[in-house]
Amino acid sequence: ALTQKQKEGAETAANLTEQIASIARESVSITEEVDKVVDDHRTSMEELVSSAKKLSELSGDLNKVVARFKVDKNEVAIFPQDETEKLTLTEKII
């Protein structure tokens, strides 16, 4: 009778150990998936930061270009219509 109980106890322990091992394997698999998702997210964030820096640099460059073309109202000379050079467009037929 004791041997049968020991056998049943050993089988129960073996089943529980297998269940624990199965849960541990599943946990490892899920942890690896989460690790990959986090790594992909980190890579995306690094690319986003890099793009934002480039956009900021382009914005600064554009501001420099625009500043070259800004004209102060006091510096603008307005000519009467008769003093301006008139351009005539002609159509050239080939």
The per-residue pLDDT for range 35-84, each reduced to its tens digit, is 999 999 999 999 999 999 999 999 999 998 888 877 666 665 555 555 55
Across 25-29, 63-67, 71-75, 86-90, least confident range: 86-90
Q: What is the pTM (predicted TM-score) of this model? A: 0.51
pLDDT of residue 60: 94
Measured CA to CA, the distance from residue 48 to residue 26 in angstroms comes to 33
Closest CA to 47 of 55, 36, 59: 55
Q: Is the pLDDT of residue 13 over 80?
A: yes
